[in-house]
Amino acid sequence: MSAENTSTAPKTTKIVRFHQTGDAEVLQLETLPLLEPAAGEVRLRVKAIGLNRAEVMFRRGQYLVAPVLPSLLGYEASGIIEAVGPGVDTALVGKTVSTVPAFPADKYGVYGEVAIVPVNAIAAYPASLSYEQGTSIWMQYLTAYGALIQQGKLAKGDFVLITAASSSVGIAAIEIAKAEGAISIATTRTSKKKSELLALGADHVIATDEEDLAARVREITAGKGTRIAFDPIAGKGLEAIAAAASVSGTIFEYGALSTDPTPYPLFAALSKHLTIKGYTLFEVVADPAAFAKAKQYVFDHLQSGAFNPRIDKTFPLDQIVAAHRYMESNAQIGKIVVTV
């Protein structure tokens, strides 16, 4: 079913694809036939797209799954449902929603004027939010929620180390820590982003190129260390994170931004009884009950104003290459959004 008059609706649409892996320049905005959603799917008229580091890795052929070329791209978009496939409630047509990263990157993608996604990968968000804010929710807040709340059981007074804290997920983790009464220790490479991270709610900020991470954490925690660390970088920095951890602490590794090998910090792990856990958002979305609880937690905190998606910069769709280059510059604090 479509919200449009099929006799006058356009038969083509503009979609971003890439035909080979590589740098941002491989991204092409192409005019393609407008497809209908299949069973269990919806078609979204896209208004805004939220960019994520995972998409850069996928574009380069360095992600958890390999692209099937020519490949679509993208996990997060906001917009209006304009058509639904067989078996999907037709009452969804006309609803404003955003997509949740609950689908395989090698099958679906949202970079374009429209996006076809599974119906179980859409969610409503508070009507007070703009399309740009609406596309800046689920990857960041659900990723942080799953590690910190669902698995880490973050509690009032806990120290939590948040690395690469100027990313959208890092800022979400800072907000969750504040909401739970925990004490956040954010890291960034240099002092350039320090004041802004403090303004965004971080209790402490460590510039890791300028300060000794473990020593500063010991100072901040009066020698206890951090019970939870939330790290998307890996690489040799894992050793410093382990040195900063508390006894029986947990380190969540949710990314691989470093291109260096990741050494296992054996002696720290043994002496402190550490848990070093590989983690992704898909652990949350794979369990229907946990997924529903996570979405409600995020929605409620958005509604109350405790969570406020931060938009760093926006680009129009025809500047998707420039948007990806900007993401790779690491200059942003918050979400990069592409408007359609």
The CATH superfamily of 140-281 is: NAD(P)-binding Rossmann-like Domain (3.40.50.720)
Express each pLDDT in 295-328 by its tens digit: 999 999 999 999 999 999 999 999 999 999 999 9
**The predicted structure's pLDDT at residue 1:** 45
Q: Where are the domains of the chain?
A: 12-137+309-339, 140-281
Task: Give the class (CATH, top level) of 12-137+309-339.
Answer: alpha beta
**The predicted structure's pLDDT at residue 10:** 81
Express each pLDDT in 227-277 by its tens digit: 999 999 999 999 999 999 999 999 999 999 998 999 999 999 999 999 999
b/e for 81-106, b at 16 or more Cβ within 10 A? bbbbbeebeeebbebbbbbbbbbebe
* 127: exposed, middle or buried (Cβ count in 10 Å: 0-12, 13-18, 19+): exposed
Range list of H helices, the chain: 53-60, 131-134, 138-145, 168-179, 194-199, 213-220, 237-244, 266-272, 282-285, 288-304, 320-329
Task: Please state the pTM of the whole predicted model.
Answer: 0.93
Do domains 12-137+309-339 and 140-281 share one topology? The answer is no
Q: By the 8 A CB rule, do 251 and 274 touch?
A: yes
Cα-based distances in Å from 279 to 18, 185, 232, 328 = 28, 20, 10, 23
| Residues making up the chain, counted from first to last | 340
